[in-house]
Amino acid sequence: MLDESHKIPQATTKRLPLYYRFLQNFANAGQKRISSQELSEAMKIDSATIRRDFSHLGALGKKGYGYEVQELLAFFRKTLDQDEATNVALIGVGSLGSAFLKYNFHRNHNTKIILAFDTNSPPEGKTISGIDTYHPDLIEEKIKQYGVEVVILTVPSRSAQEVTDRLAQTDIKGILNFTPVRISVPEHIRVQTIDLSVELQTLIYQIKHD
């Protein structure tokens, strides 16, 4: 884990899982040592940014020597808690939610959707893509029973805040919000919002004004 007293820039924290993924690729290819330039070419991130990111994390390599792949992997595995499982629940099994259940983070052995909620589920629950799925009326009960820490929210916009208010009464630590609503949460819950329409509009704007 990173030292809580040392504030890491948000842009850097978003790149940490990418570093871990690409380092895994290098390790699987049998590479023992890499330079920031090699990592830059693979990730399409300039090497200066990589060196700056790594400087926030501590002395991870030696000038003129590069980085030991296994040492970096071990560091990022610990930093990202890759050896500690995180239980995830999905609320809203529509088109996007169904895709999440089928995908279920296959490349992340420590992150799995173990629980879902769907308005069409019977009181006793059912299984969708191998995931226990219950009616939203049981959110509070099942979140506690399954030890869920993070929720993926893919409900209709009109229901987003209402569901969030109920989640605020549980022990969850974070919400990945795929609704366009800017949901309000207590301080102990972190929210990451991904608005696909905004991301697409941003991309189109950048293409037209490049």
DSSP state letters, the chain: ---TTSPPPHHHHHHHHHHHHHHHHHHHTT--EE-HHHHHHHHT--HHHHHHHHHHH---SBTTTBEEHHHHHHHHHHHTTTTS-EEEEEE--SHHHHHHHHHTTTT-TTEEEEEEE-TTS-TT-EEETTEEEE-GGGHHHHHHHHT--EEEE---HHHHHHHHHHHTTS---EEEE-SSS-----TTSEEEE--HHHHHHHHHHHHHT-
- pLDDT at position 1, please? 45
CATH of domain 86-198: 3.40.50.720
CATH of domain 10-79: 1.10.10.10
Can you give the residue ranges of every domain in the chain?
A: 10-79, 86-198
Under the banding of pLDDT at 50, 70 and 90, the label for residue 66 is confident
- Identical fold between 10-79 and 86-198: no
What average pLDDT score do residues 159-187 get? 96
Under the banding of pLDDT at 50, 70 and 90, the label for residue 87 is very high
What is the per-residue pLDDT across 10-51, written as a single tens digit (0 to 9) for each?
888 889 988 988 999 999 999 999 988 899 999 999 988 988
pTM: 0.74
Mean pLDDT is highest, among 38-42, 54-58, 98-102, 152-156, for 152-156
What is the per-residue pLDDT across 117-152, written as a single tens digit (0 to 9) for each?
999 999 899 999 999 999 999 999 999 999 999 999
